[in-house]
Amino acid sequence: MTAKEKLRQAVEELSELEAEAALAYISQRREPDAMLEAFDNVPIDDEPFTEEDERALEEAHAARRRGDTLPLDDIRGEVA
């Protein structure tokens, strides 16, 4: 039995109230999600990753491996 056949059988077994709820759910899922659509249409970041960026990233990774990190509260204090 195919998935669609199983679905048809399941739909036939629903009460009218359950069918209305299922239809509302399916309708909602088929409508485009504005947030997902916005993410899908974001331009690709075409900024080049420079050697300076690479060095900074490696320094950050090395600091993390050494445990040379700041507590989140300290960072929040600096940004606030």
Q: What is the pLDDT of residues 66-76, one digit of tens each?
A: 999 888 888 88
**Residues 11-61: pLDDT tens digits?**
999 999 999 999 999 888 887 888 888 988 988 888 899 999 999 999 999
pTM score: 0.38
- The pLDDT of residue 31 is 79
Measured CA to CA in angstroms, residue 58 lies from 48, 51, 62 at distances of 17, 11, 6
Range of the domain at 25: 3-79
Cβ neighbours for 69, distance < 8 A, ≥ 6 positions apart: 63
How many folded domains does the chain comprise?
A: 1
Instruction: Considering only residues 80 and 63, tell me which one the structure prediction assigns the higher pLDDT.
Output: 63
